[in-house]
Amino acid sequence: MTTPTPPEPGIEAQSPDANGWLPIESAPKDGTEILGFWQYVYPSDTAPTVGYRVISWEYWPIADRAGWVDGDGLVSAVNVYTHFQRLPTPPVSSSANSSPAAVTKADAGLLPPASATHSKGAA
């Protein structure tokens, strides 16, 4: 687990808003995962599209710059993240000797069923 970093120089410590959100400028930039709130107005829209992602500040070698990266490896090409919250701590085990069971992608339903896979050239 990483140690939280202080805000960037020049950014004063701030209190969260009524819903617990802090400005993204005060987020840690040491690889710590946080919950990021984003909003973006697409050219054909009049209202912003909004969402939440677990993100961390990382160096992006392809663009030779750092930015907010989500769990899928997607880098925010524009500043869409406006606020953040720290992630909660993991649940406490009910037994001192038990640990959470590992969940695979298949267990979580993230892999397609075998019958849905296709090979090249299949009809």
Virtual CA dihedral for 30, 33, 34, 39, nearest 10 degrees?
Answer: 90
Q: CA-based angle 37:43:47, to the nearest 5?
A: 50
What average pLDDT does the structure give for the chain? 76
Q: What percent of the chain has pLDDT over 90?
A: 39
Measured in degrees and rounded to the nearest 5, phi and psi for residue 66 equal -100, 160
For the chain, helix, strand, coil in percent to 5 are 5, 30, 65
Provide the pLDDT confidence category of residue 55 given band limits of 50, 70 and 90: very high
Provide the pLDDT confidence category of residue 99 given band limits of 50, 70 and 90: low
pTM of the model: 0.62
Within 10 angstroms of residue 34's Cβ, the number of other Cβ atoms is 22
4, 32 contact by CB (below 8 A): yes
At 37, list the tokens. 């709130």
